[in-house]
Amino acid sequence: MAFFVGIEIGGTKLQLAVGSGDGPPFVGFVRDTVETPGTAPRIQRQILDGYHRLLRETGLSADEIAGIGIGFGGPVDTRRGTIVTSHQVAGWNDFPIVDWLHGELGRPVLLHNDADSAAFAEAQFGAGRGYDPVLYVTVGSGIGGGLVFRGQVYRGLGAGALEIGHLRPLGTPTHIPLPGTTVESIASGFGITQRAQRLLMEPGVAARLGVGAIDGLARLCGGEPTTLNTRLIVEGARGGDVVCQKLLDDGTETLGWALAQAIALLNPARIVIGGGVSLRGETEFFEPVRAACRRYVFAPFRDLAQIVPAHLEEEVVVHGAVALAAQHHTAHQSPRAT
C-alpha cells in the first residue's frame, strides 16, 4: 500500500501527516509551532525533523512513502515548484522548495498553496463533497481562495488563481469611514484589527463617528492600540459596543460583496468558508455574509450557490496536501500519463 505525506507550512504553525490519500483519519500526525522569529532555514530544519519523526512514530520506511504534498501559506508557482514569497516569514522568496525537499528526502514532491490544498480537501472529504464546482474561501489572518472543478484544483497559468482576498471593492465598507484597498484589508482578522487600531490612532476619523464613540474600543485594549486583536473586537461587539460591531459588519459585508463577484464569474455549486474569523458562527458571521452576498450578486445566480461552514477544521490543509500528492501519484502511474 502506498502512503503519502502532507505538509502544511504556515507563518506560525507546521503540520505534517501521513495517510493513503483517501481522507480522514491519518496514519500519523505531527504538529509543531514555527520557531520565533520564523525564518525559512529554521522551518526547513523543522520540516526534516518532523518528517523523520513521523516515520519513526508510524513505523513506516522511507520506501513506503510514494509522494509528498506541500500546502504553503503564501503565493507559489506550482509549475516551477517554487515559493513566490511569504508575507509572514523571511527567506522564502523564490525558494525552489520542490527541488530542495526532493533532494533531501528522495521522494516526489508536489506544491500548492494552503488555500488550494484546503479547497481540495473540503471538496473531496468535507463540506463540498458531492458538489461541483466548489469554491473554498479561508478567512483568517488573511483571506485566500481555491476552486475545485471536476476533481482538479484550478491554478490558472500555475502561479495562482482565486485570490479573492485581493479583489478591490467599490462601495464597501459602509459603516466605519476608513477605506480599505482590498477585501483582505477589511474582512480578514488582520484587516479588522488594523482598522480598529487606526481608529484609536487617527483622531480625525474617530471624530466623524461622534463624541465618545471609540471609548469602548479604547477600554478593550487599555488605551494601547497595539494590543488589540480580532478576539477582543468580537468580545466588544458581543458586549454591545457599537463601533466593534460596525468593524465586524464591514468585514462580513465586504466578504459578501467578494463572494458575489466570484459567483458572477464562476457560478459554483457550493461555497465553503473556513478560517478562524468564520468560527464566529451562523448568527454572527454566516448569516450576514449570505445577506450581503444576496444584495450584491448577479440576480439570476442569487439562489444557486450555498454558502456553508468548512468541516475539516485545523487539519484541512494537510488533508488536502496528502490527497493531492496521492492524486498526482495516481495520474503519473497510469499508462495514459506515461
CATH superfamily of 164-309: ATPase, nucleotide binding domain (3.30.420.40)
Q: What would the pLDDT profile of 312-336 be if each residue is shown by its tens digit? A: 989 999 999 999 999 999 998 754 4
Residue with cell 490527497: 323
Give the whole-angstrom CA distance, residue 261 versus residue 332: 36
All structural domains of the chain with their residue ranges: 3-126+312-333, 164-309
Alpha helices in 85-229 (DSSP H): 97-105, 114-125, 184-187, 189-201, 203-207, 215-220
Q: What would the pLDDT profile of 10-46 be if each residue is shown by its tens digit? A: 888 899 999 999 999 999 999 998 877 779 999 999 9
Distances (CA, A) of 190 to 31, 38, 76: 24, 18, 21
Lowest-confidence pick of 40-54, 160-174, 246-260, 261-275: 160-174
Residues 6+ apart with CB under 8 A from 22: 323, 326
Q: What is the CB neighbour count within 10 angstroms for residue 222?
A: 9
Q: What would the pLDDT profile of 145-171 be if each residue is shown by its tens digit? A: 999 999 999 988 877 789 999 999 988
**Cβ(315)–Cβ(15) below 8 Å:** yes
Whether the CA torsion 78, 74, 293, 182 is positive or negative: it is negative
pTM: 0.91
CATH superfamily of 3-126+312-333: ATPase, nucleotide binding domain (3.30.420.40)
Identical fold at 3-126+312-333 and 164-309? Answer: yes
